[in-house]
Chain A
C-alpha cells in the first residue's frame, strides 16, 4: 500500500528528498555542527520558514483543495504559539525564581515560588495572580495537548456554526477575518491573561537546556523539517484518495457533491479543523524560534499574507504552497532586512523596506491575472499536466454535441 501511494504521488518522494537534502546541507553549514557558513539567526529564519511552509500546506488543503478561502488560519497558528509559549515562559521563570530563592535563609514554600513566578510574568500588566487559563502551564505534556486541543476546538465550533448555516464564498472569508480580528483584540487586553500587547517573550530559551542557541536553533530546524515532512505526507495522503476527490468536488461544485449523498458540511468541518490543527502545530514550532509572540501576530493581515503565499506558489498543488511560502517569506526577509539595495532615482529614493509591500501586492495581482496556477504552474507546464479545457457553451441539438469552441475549429 505504501509503495503504491508513493508511485501514485512521485512528487511526495521528490519533496521529501529535497527537504532532507536541505536539512543536511544546513546542518553542515551551521555554526553548531558544521562549517559555520550560516549564521544562527539565519538558521532560525530558515527554521521559521519551514513552519510557514507547513501552515501554507494547511492553507492549500483548505483553500486550494476544498475551496474554503479561510482568512483566519493565523489565529490557529498564533494560538498554537501561545499554548507552547505559556509552558516555556512558566518553566523558564520557575527555574530563575528557584535559583534566586535558593540562597534565601529559609527555603521558600511552593506557594511562595508560585507567587514569585506570577509576579515575574504578570508584573508588566500590573498583576501577580495566575489567571485560570494558566492552570496547566507547569506541565509540558498538557500544554502540548492544548496546542492541538484549543485551536482544534475553536475551529470545530466556528466551522460548525459557519458551515451549518451554509455560509460560503466571500462571506465566509469575512467571517474568518472577523474571528482572527476578535481574537487579536481580545489578546490585546491586559486582563486576557496572556500579558496583553506584551505577549509572551523569551521563548527561545528552553528551560533546563544548557546548550547554546546555535545548537538549539538547529534542533528546532530539524523539528520543523520533520513536522513539514510529516505534514506534507499527511496532506498528500488526505488528498490522494477518494477523500481528495470529494473535497475537490466540493470546491468545484458543492451542490453536485451534496446530491451525490455526501454531507458537504461534515467534510468542510473536517478539513477546516484538520488544517487548524496543522496550523497550530506549525505555530508551536515557529514561536520558540521567533522568541516572542504577541497579539499582532494574529492580526487579520497575517492570514491574508498566507493566502497571498499560496496564490503565488500555486493553489491545488501541495508543493506549490510550500514554494510560495518559502519564496515569498524569504524574499520578504531579504527586502525588509535591508538586503536589497535601495534604488536612487535622483528625485526619489526607493527604500525597499517601504516599497516591498507594494512590490508584493503587484506580484500578487500579476500572478492572479496572468498565471492563476502560480509558480507551480510552471512545473505543470513542463510535465504536460495541463489539459485542454472545454468550457464553451453547449450548442443546440442541430449543431450536434459540439462545444462552442470545437464547432469553430
Chain B
C-alpha cells in the first residue's frame, strides 16, 4: 500500500505508519529466527500474519513487545518514530502496544471485574496504584468492556471458572481496556467453537476500526473470515503480502506452506 505511493517527506510517511519494523534480525545460538524482516502497519488496519511453524511469528511479536532484543534493525513507533528497542516491556505496553498470548492468560485467582480493572488505562506507577480507588468512569468502562466481550453476567465470578472461550474474550477485553493503538493477537481462535469464532472475528474487526490489529493465525478459514491484508512469514522473513486470494496464488507460498 505504502510502497505504491510516491515517496513523500518523512513526517508524512510517518503519519500513515503506526509501526515500522525494518531490517530486523534475531538469532538464537546461530539459528536465525528472524532474518532481515521488514513490516509496516497503519494506525487503523487489520492484518493477519500466517506462516508454518517456526516461521518466526511469535519471535516477531516478542521483538515488538520488547521481550526479545534483535541484533540488527529498527523498530519505530508512532508519529514521532520513537525506537521501541530501548524501552522496557512495561514502557512499550504503556506506549500503546497490547499483546494477547496464544494460551489464554488471565489472572485465574481474581474476578473478571478485577482482571478488567487492572487493565483499564490508568497511571501504572506503584504509589499511584496503591492509593487508587476506582471512580465511576473506570467502573463504567469495566461494565462497557464486559458487555463488549459478552461477559457482563460473569463480572463477579473468578476468571478461573470461565470456559476456555470466555477466557480468550476476557483477555481480549483486558487488551481493549488498555486502549492500545496496536493489538498483537496470537491465535485467538484456538480451541473455540464455530459461534465463538464468529464473535471473536466481530470483536477484532470492530477493534480494527480505531486501531491497528495484528492477528497471528494458523487457521485459514478464520483468516478468510477476517477479510484483511495478509502477510506470509517463512524462515524469519516476509514471503508474500497482499489479500488472502493474492497470497494463496503465490507459487512460493504454495510451496512452503499451503502445498503441504
Contact = CB atoms under 8 A, between A and B. Distances in A.
Give the residue among A394, A401, A402 with the most B Cβ atoms within 10 A. Answer: A401
Given A246-B129, A253-B107, A394-B104, 18 more contacts: A238-B130, A241-B133, A242-B117, A242-B118, A243-B130, A246-B118, A256-B107, A259-B93, A259-B98, A263-B126, A266-B125, A270-B127, A387-B160, A391-B160, A394-B164, A397-B192, A397-B193, A401-B196
Interface in B94-128: 94, 98-99, 101, 103-105, 107-110, 114, 117-119, 124-127
B41 interface: no
Contact of B130 (A241, A258, A395, A396): A241
Contact of A397 (B101, B110, B189): B189
Given A260-B174, A263-B88, A1 B133 contact: yes
Task: Enumerate the 4 nearest inter-chain pairs by beta-carbon distance, A residue then B residue, closest first.
Answer: A261-B93, A401-B165, A394-B191, A263-B90
Interface in B135-167: 158, 160-166
A236 B144 CA distance: 29
7 contacts: A1-B133, A243-B132, A252-B108, A259-B65, A261-B90, A266-B126, A403-B163
B224 to A, nearest CB: 15
A245 interface: yes
B118 A245 contact: yes
Interface of A: 1, 238, 241-243, 245-246, 248-249, 252-253, 255-256, 258-264, 266-267, 270, 387-391, 394-397, 400-403, 406
A397 B132 contact: no
B220 to A, nearest CB: 13
Given A262-B90, A401-B191, A242 B129 contact: yes
A249 B110 contact: yes
Interface string B193-225: 100110000000000000000000001000000
Contacts of A260: 93, 118-119, 124, 174, 178
Contacts of B20: none
Contact of B190 (A243, A394, A403): A394
A252 B89 contact: no
Given A242-B134, A243-B132, A397 B190 contact: yes
Given A258-B89, A261-B90, A249 B126 contact: no
Contact of B164 (A242, A246, A387, A401): A401
A270 B129 CA distance: 12
A263 B89 CA distance: 8
A248 B109 contact: yes
A397 B191 contact: yes
Nearest to B100: A259
Nearest to B95: A261
A390 B118 contact: no
A259 B99 contact: yes
B124 A262 contact: yes
Given A248-B107, A266-B126, A390 B160 contact: yes
Nearest to A4: B133
Contacts of B99: 259
Nearest to B158: A387
A280 B227 CA distance: 61
Contacts of A406: 163
Given A248-B110, A253-B105, A258-B93, A270 B164 contact: no
Contacts of A387: 158, 160-161
A252 B191 contact: no
B124 A261 contact: yes
Contacts of B104: 394
B113 to A, nearest CB: 10
A388 B161 contact: yes
A242 B119 CA distance: 10
A267 B129 CA distance: 10
Contacts of B125: 263, 266
A242 B108 CA distance: 15
B110 A245 contact: yes
Nearest to B189: A397
A255 to B, nearest CB: 8
A260 to B, nearest CB: 6
A390 B114 CA distance: 19
Contacts of B161: 387-388, 390
Contacts of B108: 252, 389
B38 to A, nearest CB: 24
A253 B91 CA distance: 18
A245 B132 CA distance: 12
A258 B65 CA distance: 10
A402 B164 contact: yes
A246 B118 CA distance: 7
B193 A261 contact: no
B91 to A, nearest CB: 8
Given A387-B158, A395-B191, A400-B193, A263 B124 contact: yes
A406 B105 CA distance: 19
Contacts of B89: 255, 258-259
